[in-house]
Structure 1
Amino acid sequence: MSVVDGVTRRAVPAGPDAPGPRRSARPRLTLVVLLVAQFMLAVDFSILNVALPVIGRGLGFSLANLQWIATAFALCAAGFTLLAGRIADLFGRRRLFLGGLAVLGLASLAGGLATGPQVLIAARVFQGLATAVVTPAGLALLTTSFPEGPLRQRALGLNGALMSAGFTTGAVLGGVLTDLLSWRWAFLVNVPVAAAVLVIAPMVLTESRPPVRPRLDLPGALAVTLGLLAVVLGFTRAGEHGWGDPAALLVLAAGLLLLIAFYLIERKAPAPLVPVTVLRRRAVAWGNVAGVLAFVTETSLVFLLTLYLQKVLGFSPLAAGLSFGVLGLGTVLGGTLAPRVIARTGTRAALITGALVQAAATAGLLALGTTARSLALLLPATFVGGVGNMLLIVAFMITATSGLPDHEQGMATGLATMSQQIGITMGTPVMSAIATGAMATTTVPGVLHGIRTAIAADAGLVLATALVAAVFLRAPAKE
């Protein structure tokens, strides 16, 4: 018996009696199963963006309430992730992973068959809860299935790349399914994928939990969950009732206080959800701030441009979805260039460069007009922005996990993935709140004004990311 990453494992016999082909095939199958599940979750974040206007007309959602289709998912996916990750440590990551996938499949089926807003919102809530369970459990299974070193780094690199690619794929796939079949298939496509993973996963995944069951930091779990819920809810209410709404400001303030309370609780907790010693490291803390902003900005921009293409230019869901293929090509190029840029300039310089490129491309979208001629601006701007965003994301992942001893690498990787999760889930509600809050009317000029306002805020956040890196992140002496 041996202990690897806090997980007890039985030694595999070496020599002629070792199961050679099966021994080499099982890790590959494990990797494929976990990456397919994570890719499906990433697709889920964006697959409904293009379909939202069609869903609104079909089920009777108003434009102001349309964001609740995304917000109901985001509230649960962002708010419960840390708690779900700890529960997976307590009761078994494999068990929670499989249970979460089952809930995701059933919720997707319910959403695809929904006949009214209430059923659809309930389905989105359960999809969000399932995502909050499956994401940290899947990441833990991934890290504990591969030893420290190149194998684990390669697996985590593939996971991050597929999460980014999945978001763009979701935007394209949502448009294709909505236009050629029905918006319902944006939900139903999850069902066969989840079923296939549920059939294969029990045969290749082994249970993973620490040899000593950790204690549940209940006060910390409640504080961070309620804090994240309040922050997302506050932004949503601000979008519906304006930024001067006392209730929205009160909820946002309560969320901020709860997150501060979470930090104070973690300082004294005997078994904290997030050790403060890790958070005190400059690269980890500020690197994750940059990561949240990176995922908030580019993912929410897809939502804003979906509204623009369909509400202002009158594009079909298919045409709108295909338009994001250019963004996908930009992310592929950015992912290819990132290692070379980082090797030459360092992670800090690459992070700042990526943020500045993305900010410039986003700011260019402020010139979008009401005619299809604006595609001559939108397509190259989203391509360049995708290159910059992927450079920023790769640099963030390296920054947030650098300068740490081996025994803290797992926690650092978990925090980086958590930042990715929170950024993706909060991006659409935040920018939707800004856009709808700035829309004086629902006419084309009114909608365009709201979208431009949100794009300006988006560009400002990307510039803030560059500022964070320039001021708070020290350049390493040697990469």
Structure 2
Amino acid sequence: MKAREWGVLIVLSGAIFLEGTDIAMLNIALPSIRTDLGLTTGSLQWIVSAYVLGYGGFMLLGGRAADMFGRRRVFLAALIVFLLFSGLGGLAENGATLIAARFITGLAAAFMTPAGLSIITTTFEEGPKRDRALMIYGGIGAGGFTLGLVIGGLLTAVDWRWVFFAPVGLSLVLLVAALAVIPKSERPDRSGQRFDLLGGLTITGAVVLLVLGVERATHVGIGMTGATIAASLVLLAVFVAVERRTANPLVRLGIFRSGPLLRANLIGVLFMGGFFGFQFLVVLYLQELRGWSTIESSLAMLVVGIDVILAPTVTPKLVRRFGNVPVLLAGLGFAALSFALFLPAGADWSYAAMLPSLVSLGLAFTLAYGPLTIIATNGIKEEEQGLAGGLLYTSFQFGAAIGLAAVAAVNVAATASDAPGAVLAGYRAALLVPLAAAVLAVVLGFLNLRGNHRERTEEPAELVGAA
């Protein structure tokens, strides 16, 4: 790569690392936030839900905006908003201000993330160079998720407000660097095109309601959850009808004919659902059952961050030798192994007993995240790269929401009794959820391998790049 290309890659990798750590750091700071601001459990949950709604709900809109209005322009504007409202969150003196700040921060990330990914996929031509760039980008992004707990624990030990102030500092550095290294490009030619406002409103409403229904499933009655999801499906049907009739659709429905893209998004839902559910349970196990401190729990998860080192260095070599799909499949296998190894967790388990599971999770991220990103974006037209990135990260966010909701529901149901050992039994029962998600992802990975071979055999000229 040229020096300018390295600069672009480092800045955008820093942005996806920022986004990953922002999510993970907050999770471990929540108890301190509740104590300091005197929040109820419901209000505390909304601090998480507000970000998820802003991020997951507006991701497709953000991806399409990047394609239509200019990727650099959208990325920089979103980064500025992210910076400002992250700082507002750190200054919040009440729950309402913090919840509002988190929603806008999530919304900014929904525009920043697909714009950043599409800058990479359009800067580097499809092939080995783009694959290497996406491996580095994916590895550093995955490191944000895995190292966020560690960083968040250390910052929370000083003051929970640093969980919000630290991203402000990093955002400012990235903003200055982005202005210097991300090249300006010609404004996209939108002559004869109109922004699909109705499509944007309906799909955003559908995704927001769907994420809200899943996120709040363990806190409201089944009737409210059913009504919310039903309303989401109605809006989704309206969106499909609108997209079929409009001359300039927000989401060209034909993009879903790409088998690799569709399977990558389904795997993304399962992979992130399993990871976030497992992370949630491990933190509860360490802090509530074992009585470990925030810092001890954070440092225990440090080994998961090996992907920051291995993903940019080892994974590209494996991909060059074996291909994206086999490496992805190996990563999914390590995820399933990680969750299975933690199932026998006992009330007196040593850290050495936990270590194989945590190392396996780090290897899962090392091998899965980058190839999954490549598969989801290869073979997609340049003018739809923002949309492809938006779809993938919407899948990640929805997977995280549904994974957390599912493990929380199973954990609560399994610990309903006061019998000795009920808490540990609840954790073990809930661990079956991420395990099932990982196993299903492995099955889809095998289908991807077969589909990849069939598509290469039947339509090599058209679909080789998508594999």
* TM tier relative to shorter chain: 0.7 to 0.9
Q: Verify: 1:164 aligned to 2:137, yes or no.
A: no
1:182 matched residue in structure 2: 159
1:467/1:27 CA distance change after superposition, 3 Å: closer
Q: Which amino acid letter does the alignment assign opposite residue 262 of structure 2? A: A
1:313/1:296 CA distance change after superposition, 3 Å: same
2:225 matched residue in structure 1: 248
Please point out which of 426, 431, 438 is paired with 2:398: 426
**In structure 2, what is the Cα distance between the partners aligned to 1:287 and 1:145?**
22
SS for the counterpart of 2:28 is: coil
Larger deviation: 44-53 or 299-308?
A: 299-308
Aligned pairs for 1:398-413 within 5 A: 398-401=374-377, 404=379, 408=381, 411=384
| Structure 1 runs of 4+ with >6 Å offset | none
Q: Which amino acid letter does the alignment assign opposite residue 418 of structure 1? A: G
SS for the counterpart of 1:278 is: helix
- 1:323 Cα deviation after fit: 1.2
**In structure 2, what is the Cα distance between the partners aligned to 1:395 and 1:297?**
18
Unaligned residue ranges in structure 1 (runs of 5+): 1-22
Larger deviation: 454-463 or 387-396?
A: 387-396
- 1:97 Cα deviation after fit: 2.2
Alpha-carbon deviations, 1:264-288, whole Å to 9, x = none? 4434432223322221122221222
1:113/1:258 CA distance change after superposition, 3 Å: same
Contact 1:230-1:252 within 8 A present in 2 as well? yes
**In structure 1, what is the Cα distance between the partners aligned to 2:28 and 2:367?**
25
2:207 matched residue in structure 1: 228
**In structure 1, what is the Cα distance between the partners aligned to 2:364 and 2:172?**
36
**In structure 2, what is the Cα distance between the partners aligned to 1:178 and 1:96?**
32
Aligned pairs for 1:297-312 within 5 A: 297-312=274-289
- 1:79 Cα deviation after fit: 0.7
Larger deviation: 413-422 or 194-203?
A: 413-422
**In structure 1, what is the Cα distance between the partners aligned to 2:133 and 2:325?**
23
Unaligned residue ranges in structure 2 (runs of 5+): 458-466
Q: Verify: 1:93 aligned to 2:71, yes or no.
A: yes
1:18 matched residue in structure 2: none
Contact 2:149-2:298 within 8 A present in 1 as well? yes
- 1:49 Cα deviation after fit: 1.8
1:47/1:344 CA distance change after superposition, 3 Å: same
Q: Verify: 1:468 aligned to 2:444, yes or no.
A: yes
2:243 matched residue in structure 1: 266
2:463 matched residue in structure 1: none
CA RMSD in angstroms, aligned pairs only: 3.1
Please give the TM-score of this superposition, normalised by the length of structure 2. 0.85
Contact 1:436-1:450 within 8 A present in 2 as well? no
1:32/1:338 CA distance change after superposition, 3 Å: closer
Please point out which of 216, 230, 252 is paired with 2:195: 216
- 1:26 Cα deviation after fit: 4.1
Please point out which of 16, 22, 45 is paired with 2:23: 45
**In structure 2, what is the Cα distance between the partners aligned to 1:272 and 1:353?**
37
Q: Which amino acid letter does the alignment assign opposite residue 133 of structure 1? A: F
Alpha-carbon deviations, 1:292-315, whole Å to 9, x = none? 322222234223322222222222
2:120 matched residue in structure 1: 142
| Seq. identity, % | 35
SS for the counterpart of 2:347 is: coil
**In structure 2, what is the Cα distance between the partners aligned to 1:351 and 1:143?**
19
Please point out which of 343, 349, 356 is paired with 1:380: 356
Q: Verify: 1:237 aligned to 2:213, yes or no.
A: no
The size of the alignment, in residue pairs, is: 449
Aligned pairs for 1:13-412 within 5 A: 25-63=3-41, 65-179=43-157, 181-205=158-182, 206-207=184-185, 209-213=187-191, 214-241=193-220, 245-329=222-306, 332-333=309-310, 338-339=315-316, 342=319, 346-371=323-348, 373-401=349-377, 404=379, 408=381, 411=384
1:292/1:427 CA distance change after superposition, 3 Å: closer
1:16 matched residue in structure 2: none
**In structure 2, what is the Cα distance between the partners aligned to 1:350 and 1:316?**
36
Larger deviation: 330-339 or 264-273?
A: 330-339
**In structure 2, what is the Cα distance between the partners aligned to 1:55 and 1:441?**
27
